[in-house]
Amino acid sequence: MLSLAFPAIDPIAISIGPIAIRWYALAYIAGLLLGWKYVVYYCTKTPNIMSKRDVDDLLFWATLGVILGGRLGYILFYNLDYYLENPANILKVWQGGMAFHGGFMGVIVAIILFARKRGISILAVLDAAAVATPIGLFFGRIANFINGELFGRTTDVAWGIVFPNGGPEPRHPSQLYEAALEGLILFVVLFVLSRSAFVRHRPGILGGTFVAGYGISRIIVEFFRQPDAQLGFLAGGATMGQLLSVPMVLVGVGCIVYAMKSAPIETRQHPKEAEAA
């Protein structure tokens, strides 16, 4: 079968003595920082739901949600038996083991707590976080590709790749499919929608579009992605990623419908901070 050579990129981007910085860590950092800058930009183009200080603080809350939720989600959804037998490894996040769906739920909890504490619309904060999240997803999936992990199923397509840990047969570069669907395309869709005054004044449309859009993208890609070895295929031949994504699609659509039927939101104004941003 035809196949492309795997571009063997060292997973370690920078190494100084015993200190090693991996591409995966840099992807998280790049996603969070670029996402933060984009949310600041979004808030200057939107009736100022959040001040720049609010956005700065939200970054901290969201980071905690991603890390804690992502780790907990991986443990509960993908490898519970292993961690019950090896509880000491739960904190060893540097060995890998993060789940998007867990990180997503962690961020949702962080957004709810943050919005209530600041007296801001929860859906408005969700919108702001949603428009930037595809940036992090894009970099994260590229990092997955560099690490040669989360690769696809065997294939005979011309762009199949033989991954170092995937056996001798070419496989779908499903990480790149995800980078395109969950990252690039979803970012463009949200960017276009965010330019509409009708959408910006009705919190929940952007957030719902992201949640449903990610769910649909993940369900599609899972048909090409190799299921996790410890789980395999589940009910009806579905994967865990697909089962977890179905509720996201339903919730996302419900959020969009609710937002479109709601009256335009009354927004707070921060003219000085908006000018400074």
142 pLDDT exceeds 60? Answer: yes
List 154's β-bridge partners, or say none.
171
CA distance 59 to 33: 8
CB 255 within 8 Å of CB 121: no
Tell me how far apart the alpha carbons of residues 134 and 172 are, in angstroms, rounded to a whole number.
21
pLDDT of residue 193: 96
Q: Residue 32: what pLDDT?
A: 86
State the pLDDT at residue 236: 82
164-169 average pLDDT score: 89
Q: Is 171 annotated as a binding residue?
A: no
Mean pLDDT, the chain, rounded, equals 87
**DSSP annotation of 235:** G
Query: Is residue 231's pLDDT more than 70?
Result: yes
pLDDT for 36 beyond 70: yes
**Which pair of structure tokens corresponds to residue 5?**
């050579």
pLDDT at 272 over 70: no
What are the tens digits of pLDDT across the range 70-121? 889 888 888 888 888 888 888 776 666 778 888 889 999 999 999 999 998 8
Residue 267 pLDDT > 60: no
Task: Please give the pLDDT value at position 88.
Answer: 82
Cα separation of 186 and 164, whole Å? 30
Question: How large a percentage of the chain has pLDDT more than 70?
Answer: 93
